[in-house]
Amino acid sequence: MATKTAPINMRVEPSVRSIIDAAANLLKVDRTVFIQTAALREAHEIIANQRDFLLEDKAFAAFEEALDAPAEVNEGMVDLLSRKSPWE
């Protein structure tokens, strides 16, 4: 069974297209493959940077200590979450 594809259309300045085409030609791929590969690589990096992070040992110990500490009660949140919803 064939995989469906979804179009992504974009307009760029001719100079941008020329640079993209030159880079794609150097890698011996077409423009679509080049743009897909570059965009996917960037997307993965952005997602990883939001999810994964590294800490030095001292900073990691402080991070773990903060996670293990009991949660502080926020009276404003307690009040808000105990109220009846406007639609109820």
Euclidean distance between CA atoms 20 and 32, whole angstroms: 10
Domain residues of the chain, as ranges? 14-82
Predicted confidence at residue 23, as pLDDT, reads 97
pLDDT in tens, 25-83: 999 999 999 999 999 999 999 998 888 778 999 999 999 999 999 999 999 999 999 99
Q: With a cut of 90, say whether residue 5 has pLDDT above it.
A: no
Angstrom distance (rounded) from CA 73 to CA 69: 12
Distance CA 70, CA 32 (A): 51
What is the value of pTM for the model shown? 0.56
Per-residue model confidence (pLDDT) at position 1: 58
pLDDT above 90: residue 88: no
